[in-house]
Chain A
């Protein structure tokens, strides 16, 4: 726990993030560029043709979206149980990013499914769970904005995020159950040939690094804003 509390100090976080940011930003740009080049160099897939290239921006977005929710859940736990000071800020900073990646996942997923199934929306189990994840994010952000008291808002959202996290596997399971009931189709199937795997991994790294970069900047922004607020209220 001590190592975590060392970085709980805003000053420490500013120092650490300041050191890391140039690297994560540069790495993100490089990875995404490399991923794009690799992605567009692949041969057409046997079943999907060149639409397989959409996978390279759909799956990374989806993974970041889901990972961010897990991250927020963990931060919420830290906030509620151990009262870790920066957890609230970090969770709040992550949420809009998570929502954005979820939206990107939905749009790309829809466009991926369209040439295969003929419609812009398919009630694929994965896309449907994804849509519900977007609603979970929106509810979380709405609750934070609605409650005026900052501490109350943070604690309430922490409870909500944890409830959501516990519920999410149940939701995903129920959607899959529902899907088999109505014999829905599935967008992603089976194994991935190596030629498709590498661009995917590189793009995943790129998206992850981009999230990390933007997230750290957002936390820094909030720390600076808090300092401003303290000064305005006449504090030291």
Chain B
């Protein structure tokens, strides 16, 4: 049996890892984007009123 078949349990193991990876990735991207947006917005406002 290959590594990918995971002893026959591939149908459960890979979706579990897949969903977890997806969920964590979305969280990371979302968090970083919100932070970048907040930084950009603050920078723009600070430049408008010196």
Which residues from chain A sit less than 8 Å from chain B, CB to CB? 40, 44, 49-51, 53-54, 57-58, 61, 97, 100, 103-104, 107-108, 111-112, 114-115, 210, 214, 217-218, 220-222, 224-225, 227-228, 231-232
Contact = CB atoms under 8 A, between A and B. Distances in A.
Contacts of A50: 6-9, 13
Interface of B: 3, 6-9, 12-13, 15-17, 19-20, 23-24, 27-28, 31-32, 34-35, 38-39, 41-42, 45-46, 49
B38 to A, nearest CB: 4
Given A57-B16, A221-B31, 4 more contacts: A50-B7, A54-B13, A57-B17, A112-B12
Contacts of B28: 214
Say whether chain B's binding surface is mostly helix, strand, loop, or mixed: helix
A54 B11 CA distance: 12
Q: Which of B8, B9, B49 has the most CB of A within 10 A?
A: B9
A49 B16 contact: no
A103 B45 contact: no
B38 A228 contact: yes
A44 B7 contact: yes
Contacts of B24: 104, 210
B27 A100 contact: yes
A49 B45 contact: no
B43 to A, nearest CB: 9
14 contacts: A49-B7, A50-B7, A54-B16, A100-B27, A104-B24, A108-B16, A112-B16, A217-B35, A220-B38, A221-B35, A225-B41, A227-B42, A228-B45, A231-B49
Q: Which of B3, B27, B32, B39 has the most CB of A within 10 A?
A: B27
Contact of B42 (A49, A210, A214, A228): A228
Contact of A104 (B23, B34, B39): B23
Contacts of B20: 57, 61, 104, 107-108
Contacts of B46: 231
Given A40-B3, A228-B42, A231-B45, A221 B34 contact: yes
Nearest to A225: B38
Nearest to A223: B38
Nearest to A214: B31
Nearest to A44: B7
Contact of B9 (A51, A104, A224, A227): A51
A49 B8 contact: yes
